[in-house]
Each structure stands twice: as C-alpha cells, then as structure tokens.
Amino acid sequence: MQTNPAHTSLVAVGDSFTEGMSDLLPDGSYRGWADLLAARMAARTPGFRYANLAVRGKLIGQIVEEQIEVAAAMRADVVTLVGGLNDTLRPKCDMGRVRGLLEEAVERLTPSCKQLVLMRSPGRQGPVLERFRPRMEELFGYVDELADRHGALVVDLYGAPSLSDPRLWDVDRLHLTPEGHRRVAEAVWQTLGYEPEDPEWRTPIPATPPPGWVSRRVTDARFARQHLLPWIGRRLTGRSSGDGLPAKRPELLPYEGPAA
C-alpha cells in the first residue's frame, strides 16, 4: 500500500450505506462517508473527480446490473464497492447467488481501476440483526477471499468496536449517524495509505448513563412504528426504498463538497 498517495478520482458503488443515509444536510440531501472521503482527497489533488452511483435499497444483483459497467467505464483511480448486505437481510436469501454476483462485480471492476476497495460493513448491537448475523459474517468472509485473489483492499468496519455502539446509529437502526460516517471516511482514508487524521476512529465514544426503562420502551415503540414495520412491509412485497431514484452523483466530475 502506497503511503500518502495522490489519487485523482474516486467512484463509489453500492446502496444506502454509500449514498450517505442518515447523514442529512440542511437542504435535505445526504452527505455520508463517500462525500467526506472525496472532500479530503480533493483538498490534496487539484482537479480531483468524484462520482457516487449508490442508491438506497439496492440488492447486489441490481448493483451489478445498474452500476458496475458504468463505474468500470469511468476508469477511476479508486473504486469502492459495498454491496450484498441488503440481500442478507431479506427473509429468503440465496447466499450462493450473492457470492457469485459479488465475484462478478469484483472481476469486472478490478481491471478498470488502480485500486478497488471492499468493506466488511459495520454491524450494530441489537436483537433485530442477530437473526441475520451468520449471513453477514459469511458475506464478509467472502469479501476477504475476493480481496486476497484480486488485490483489493478491505476496510474492516465490522471489527471496529466504535461502530457497534448504538449511539453511532440513526433512529432507524440501519444507518450511521454523521459521526459514524465520519469514522468510516477516516477508516477508508487510512486504508488507502493517507496519513491518519483520527488515529482513534476505532475507539468507542465515552460511556454515558443508559436511558431508563420507560425511555427505552418509548424509543422501541417509535422505531417499530416508523421504521421496522415499513421495512418489513417492503421486504414482503418486494419493494425497495430506492425504487425510481437516480444515483446521487452519476457523472465523474470535479468535486467541490463538504469539508471533512
């Protein structure tokens, strides 16, 4: 891995995690770790270009069909690929198919960029995801295998103690807070070989008194009503939160964005 490299372009591929939910900006758009990473890289390299093809809710098959060829054609220095986690959270998931599609994506992207970056996605604590954790860990194991075979970098967010803290997750319990996204940007930044700006990004935030029983029950009820039940409904009917939405930044263009 090169130390303090000078990359000239970045393409981000994936789903809501890479789109930037729930790092909400005042204008109602989402920022997220990929935008933060691009801002840092652009500050070092005049004319730096950035595209973000991610769309919330996309399954790995949709990512392969809709994003991979577009990303490969851009011939960027760095491509980040995070996908497959939405598949593991579906009631029925063919992990063999997920592995095959992920391998297809990696094989198509590797020759088209200087550095492919894969991730072991973060996983918060809590009972809802425990049911799906074996599938998630199977997916992450395959990410490691693909990286070894194809020379990709792997950012291990799943193994970071800080990112399992519920306080770094939004009220929907599926997406990171702005602080969570900042830490992911730092993790990718360091994995690419840049000098750390936050060497302690893995360190958990200081402990705070836990909320009381009543407060927890009110929060759980609100979460179930506003987020869990609609999420289950979409899973059962085959709908997605990203249906009909375009990529957030579909062209590889010079980037001027939020400061890191």
Lowest mean pLDDT among 142-146, 163-167, 179-183: 163-167
Query: How many Å from the N-terminal Cα to the C-terminal Cα in the chain?
Result: 23
- Residue 240's pLDDT is what? 57
Q: How far apart are CA 101 and CA 60, in angstroms?
A: 7
Give the model confidence (pLDDT) of 91-123 as tens digits: 889 999 999 999 999 999 999 999 999 999 997
pLDDT at 54 over 60: yes
- Residue 168's pLDDT is what? 92
- Structural domains of the chain ordered from first start: 9-205+213-254 (3.40.50.1110)
Q: How far apart are CA 38 and CA 49, in angstroms?
A: 8
**DSSP secondary structure letter of residue 205:** P
Percent of the chain topping pLDDT 90: 66
pLDDT at 215 over 90: no
Q: What is the pTM of this model?
A: 0.85
- Residue 130's pLDDT is what? 76
Q: How far apart are CA 217 and CA 233, in angstroms?
A: 22
**DSSP secondary structure letter of residue 24:** B
